[in-house]
Amino acid sequence: MAFGKKKSGEAVDPLANTPLNNIMDEVVDLKEQPIPEGHHLLEVDDLHMFFHTKDGVVKAVNGVSYTLDRGETLGVVGESGSGKSVTAMTIMGLIDMPPGKIEGGDVLYRGRSLLQMSEREMQNVRGNDIAMIFQDPMTALNPVYRVGDQIGEPLRIHRGYSKKDAVDRAAELLSMVGIPNAEQRVREYPHEFSGGMRQRAMIAMALACDPDILIADEPTTALDVTIQAQIIELMQEMQKQNGNAIIMITHDLGVVADIADKIMVMYAGNPVEFGTADDIFYNPIHPYTWGLMRSIPEQVTDEKKPLTPIKGNPPSLVTLPKGCSFSPRCPYATDLCRNQVPLTYTLPDGHYSKCHYALDPDFIKGRAPENSRTYAGGNPRVVVDEPAGAPVAGMAKQAPGTVTAVDGALAQHDTKAASAEEGEE
């Protein structure tokens, strides 16, 4: 672990070591603190945050756990309303409490609990240590201020830059993120920027203080694919230079395949599966992850494969189904699933899944979708010492329409469920 020593002497940030930098001396610069032994840069541990509304309790963050180190990128995927943004905003201390309330768990940044910090401390963390960019840059950019003043603002707040120095630095940052004529552009207003340029300006603003962690909430969702490709490349380049960690929130499995080292799949406020990108794409063990993969059109040039959607709609976070929250839509749900909330089952390498059958290789084999590695020659789907690539039986793979397991397979599975109920835990 590199302990995230900031390379501030480099051309990236020529002003970082000037005396101006010490104006904020009474506040500890957290990102300069070493990460305590046994800790990660960011540790989210069984975080629960519910909204208490007049319509009931919205269980928006319902047991989220992951760790993140410098230089790493975590992809957070899931359908809209699954709690991706609210999780990020809880970490950033941006949720109004009430109606929000932390119901359990913790968030440790360099070993220190963000949840215990005062609002004043959090203000210093935001922008300086952890920065966030949003889907719609217009919500974060103020239309009546010049772009340069806005990008320079975190430098004035966190680093004590003068107004002029901040604007000069803003121009450097803008040209760094690929905006031509940056010296003139800093004097323009947000509406004079195109969508892609606004997102670049947001990235420049987020990176102004060289944060440890960049949280990007659907930064490319509103952009066209050619502009999306530019922005993703920019984020990756900046990460290479600065060594920061990235949390990339998106609903697009293609984007996470492109950029993420680790992936968390969220469903109904809950991470249902977490693992490396390879785990999630080539060895997924949760039926919701399978459903997502079968729903996206594959790029092919031979035979088109029918899509297999997930039937039904996501549940309301106020009245979550009993048992596994995916059970009403899961083609493999059993009585066990409908009655008991599955535990988190973690494989030795940290890959985890919240499904009663996560550790049952027979369940997974034959139900998980094919992928380019299994096509290429059979790769065992789960840590089992069985011959790889055995043809799949039981379920009509790639069948059109909604997945419904063949009766026999379901029945067989039911008996297994019963034994699992006795045997497991």
Partner 1 sequence: MPETSTVADAITYTPDTPLTAEEKAKLEPSQRGNDPLLHVEHLVKEFPVSSSIFRRNSKRAVHAVNDVSFDIYPEETFGLVGESGCGKSTTGRCLMRLINPTSGTVVFNGEDVSDMKGKELKNLRHDMQYVFQDPYASLNPRMTIGELISEPMYIHNEGGTPEQRIDTVRELLKVVGLNPEHINRYPHEFSGGQRQRIGIARAFALHPKLIICDEPVSALDVSIQAQVLNLLDELQQEFGTAYLFIAHDLSVVQHISDRVAVMYLGSICEMSDWRSLYAEPCHPYSQALLSAVPVADPDLQRSRERIILAGDPPSPIDPPSGCLFHTRCPIAQEICSQEKPELREIEPGHLCACHFAKPFPIEGSSIKL
With CA atoms as reference, report the closest residue to 51 among 101, 103, 88: 101
H/E element holding 278? helix 277-282
Q: According to the binding rule CB under 6 A, does residue 301 interact with ligand ADP? A: no
Query: Tokens 């830059």 map to which residue?
Result: 161
Q: According to the binding rule CB under 6 A, does residue 190 interact with ligand SF4? A: no
Helix (H, G, I), strand (E, B) or coil at 401: coil
40 versus 59: smaller Cβ distance to ligand ADP:
59
Which neighbouring-strand residues pair with 250?
A: 77
For every residue of 331-392, DSSP letters joined together read: TT--HHHHHS----EE-TTS-EE-STTTT-HHHHTTTSPP-HHHHHH---SSS--S-TTPPP
Using CB distances below 5 to 8 A depending on partner kind, what does residue 392 bind out of Mg ion, ligand SF4, partner 1, none?
Answer: none
Query: Tokens 């509406």 map to which residue?
Result: 191
Taking the complex as a whole, the smallest distance from the CB of residue 347 to partner 1 amounts, in Å, to 19
51 versus 357: smaller Cβ distance to ligand ADP:
51
Per CB under 8 A, the segment of 9-17, 23-31, 101-109, 220-228 that binds partner 1 is 220-228
Distance spanning both ends of the chain, measured CA to CA: 34
Per CB under 6 A, the segment of 7-15, 200-208, 324-332, 343-351 that binds ligand SF4 is 324-332
Of the candidate residues 114, 179, 324, 368, the single one contacting ligand SF4 (CB under 6 A): 324
Site for ligand SF4 in 230-289 (CB under 6 A): 287
- Answer whether 245's CB lies under 8 Å from 251's CB: no
Strand 73-77, strand 262-267: pairing: parallel
Of the candidate residues 53, 162, 313, 319, the single one contacting ligand ADP (CB under 6 A): 53
- Answer whether 394's CB lies under 8 Å from 381's CB: no
147 versus 259: smaller Cβ distance to Mg ion:
259
Per CB under 5 A, the segment of 69-77, 81-89, 193-201, 260-268 that binds Mg ion is 81-89
Q: According to the binding rule CB under 5 A, does residue 85 interact with Mg ion? A: yes
Which neighbouring-strand residues pair with 47?
A: 64
CA dist 280 and 274 (Å) reads: 7
64 versus 114: smaller Cβ distance to ligand SF4:
64
Query: With contacts defined by CB under 5 A, how many residues of the chain interact with Mg ion?
Result: 1
58 versus 215: smaller Cβ distance to ligand ADP:
58
Q: Amino acid identity, residue 334?
A: T
Site for partner 1 in 257-296 (CB under 8 A): 257-258, 277-278, 281-282, 291-296
Written as six digits, the tokens of 408 are 């026999």
Inter-CA distances, 381 with 256, 257, 260, Å: 20, 18, 20
Site for ligand ADP in 83-112 (CB under 6 A): 83-86, 99
Of the candidate residues 104, 350, 401, 408, the single one contacting partner 1 (CB under 8 A): 401
Of the candidate residues 58, 215, 333, 405, the single one contacting ligand SF4 (CB under 6 A): 333
Binding site for ligand ADP (CB under 6 A): 51, 53, 58, 60, 78, 80-86, 99, 317
Binding site for Mg ion (CB under 5 A): 85
